[in-house]
Amino acid sequence: MKGVATRYPAIDAASGRLFNLEDRINQCTTRHKQAAAMPPSLMPCWA
């Protein structure tokens, strides 16, 4: 995950909203894998 800190948060081109890394992972999960988004309580700590 080298370079992630320089790329996020970022504006999502499709929705026009600000995405952090957790949002991007959830978007990928729901759009491409067609699975339920991971609830925030289960997201690992990225710090």
CA distance 10 to 2: 16
pTM, entire model: 0.63
Q: What are phi and psi of 18, to 5 degrees?
A: -75, 125
Question: Is the confidence at residue 17, as pLDDT, over 70?
Answer: yes
CA atoms within 13 A on the CB side of 30: 10
Q: Is 42 left (phi over 0), alpha (psi -120 to 50) or beta?
A: alpha
Whether residue 10 contacts residue 22, with contact meaning beta carbons closer than 8 Å, is answered with: no
Query: What average pLDDT does the segment 19-39 reach?
Result: 84
pLDDT at 44 over 70: no
**Structural domain boundaries of the chain?**
4-42
